[in-house]
Amino acid sequence: MSRILINDIRSYAYHGCLSEEAIIGGHYRVDAILTTDFSEAAEQDDLSKTVDYCDVQRIVQREMELRSKLIEHVAKRIGDALMLELPSITHLRLTVTKLSPPMGGDVKSVAVELDFTR
């Protein structure tokens, strides 16, 4: 098996427990490590034999548009959707990062990381 790394999918979304976050939103980053067998794609130069990165980005953006209080919930929803819609993925490590969270201090980011296995 091999891995595809898709880094720094950027979104502006409205997640958070504070009511203000539903109004003003914030910046998020999603990183995904997909384990899949793309040996045929590598041999044949055939996109249909691997995971299309555009599909991953589309699914991530779609799920980021649905408001949640917790990034833990967002990460689970994204991971579930990727595993459901892209059946060639055998393992997924997903990181959702909230940039500049409103924590009453100087914090660059907070992130959650989830693993999904088929």
pLDDT of residue 102 exceeding 90: no
Residue 20 sits in a domain whose CATH number is 3.30.1130.10
pLDDT tens-digit readout, 27-72:
999 999 999 999 999 999 999 999 999 999 999 999 999 999 999 9
Range of the domain at 113: 2-117
**C-alpha distances out from residue 13 to 3, 35, 43, 67, 96, Å:** 28, 27, 39, 7, 12
pLDDT of residue 54: 97
Number of domains in the chain: 1
Q: What percentage of the chain carries pLDDT values higher than 90? A: 92
Cα torsion 92, 28, 63, 75: sign: positive
Q: What pLDDT does residue 4 have? A: 98
Q: Which residues pair with 108 in a beta bridge?
A: none
